[in-house]
Chain A
Amino acid sequence: MKDLKHLIYFENLLQEAKNELVDQAIKEGNHPLGYNCYYIPETLLNLPGCFSSRLRAPRCTSTDVANYYMTQRNCPYARSILERAVEGGYNYLEALFGAEACSTMERMEEHFALYNPVKNDKFFTTIIDPPMKGDDTNLEYYKVQLKEKVLKPLKKNLGVDISEKALKAAIKDHNDIAKIITEIGEFRKLDNPPITGYEFHVIQLVSEVCPHYLIKPYLEETLAEIKKRKPEPEFPFRARLVVAGSEIDDPDFTKLIESCGAMVVADRYCFGSFPSREQIEIKKGEKAFDAICRHYLETNQCARFMDGEKIDQRTAEIMKLYKDFKADGVIYEQMKFCEFWSYEKVLAGNILANQYKVPVCTIEKEYMLGSMGQLRTRFQAFVESLEIKAIGG
């Protein structure tokens, strides 16, 4: 396939948290707001005059300082973020909105308040207590948390407009971006898609780390380009996979899978598009803020949810993606030391394999792609097993 016009530009935007579009938005007077987790609705951080910046630590090579603070026995994503903060990589931020979604994340975010690694006079941190079930009691609590720890501080500390009108504008901004990404992502359903999983991963990531209003024109142009893009004469991969898991923010991981012969057709992981790029609908009589909270609680598929409905929803969503995107198998990824995904990987992996007879490969990885050789061997073996299965009918 012909290279996408903006792919290299997008890749470059992913080399630093503070990329050129972030710079530009700050110069234009917008408030940069950091977050780590889907429990913090990106939409609320894209109120007029603000932009969201989902924190990554690209090209992180060592976490020595973070190891001192949090030991080496903790999630490498969290440690890498803390390390990057200590290095000064997030000095552009005016706030970090955290979530006590897992202990490690909470402890990491707490260090932003305890040690002030972000050298920015305006900077502040809040941490919400996120819900663990999808019922009304938890929804109400979610609303209270987001109001008290996101909206009110935004207004009080940064003078952000949090009116109904502003929230509706933020929803529109979300829906516009989501529509473009979803449309691009839908191409992956085709038998011979005009886009690779790697390219999609890059596109999805830039939509999460760049100011929406600045990245949107590039995304629109890319969508138009893909619509006309001629795929390879034949589907160039030997299998199609759904990837599920935790914080996968390195597109090279997707590239690694694809280099082993399997296209990543659906991305159900933190930083992926399932969930994150669904349309937010304001129901009749519903306030914009309530709609945002409801949407994020309904679509959230964090392995942390404990109630039966949400647990079943996680498996059902994977099965839906597996069918809709005509996948041949599922890779369950788990970041080392992640309690939730350690369990989810075993639970869902077993349910999928034994109950639904879906081929599953479960892997554990570091944040930065270190042991590529081991993972490559696993993926190659998995792709081969899928091929053998296909031959066997």
Chain B
Amino acid sequence: MEFVLKAILKVVKIALILFVVTFGIYMNNLENKLIFYVIRPLLNKHYDSQVRDRRV
């Protein structure tokens, strides 16, 4: 019984942490800030350096 309760508590704890983390990301728009300010500029640098087979 105690084991089950502990397990439930652990699940709730993990769920709560997950909720706090993901809701924090969601509410503060963190993933989009990361993409806009960090990832895309790096990717664009890569795309701009590509040599493409550009012809008709």
Contacts and interface: CB of A to CB of B under 8 A. Distances in A.
Q: Do A's and B's CB atoms come within 8 Å in the complex? A: yes
Interface stretch (A5-13, A172-180, A346-354): A346-354
A66 B55 CA distance: 38
Interface string B13-56: 00000000000000000000000000000000000000000011
Interface residues of A, number: 5
A343 to B, nearest CB: 10
A354 B56 CA distance: 10
5 closest Cβ pairs, A-B complex: A350-B56, A347-B56, A346-B56, A351-B56, A350-B55
Nearest to A347: B56
Contacts of A350: 55-56
The secondary structure that dominates the B interface is loop
Interface in A329-366: 346-347, 350-351, 354
Interface in A4-34: none
A350 B55 CA distance: 9
A351 to B, nearest CB: 7
A243 B56 CA distance: 21
Contacts of A346: 56
Nearest to A346: B56
A55 B34 CA distance: 61
A351 B56 CA distance: 8
A351 B55 CA distance: 10
B53 to A, nearest CB: 13
7 contacts: A346-B56, A347-B56, A350-B55, A350-B56, A351-B56, A354-B55, A354-B56
Contacts of A351: 56
Contacts of B56: 346-347, 350-351, 354
A281 B55 CA distance: 41
B50 to A, nearest CB: 21
A224 B56 CA distance: 46
Contacts of A354: 55-56
A347 B56 CA distance: 7
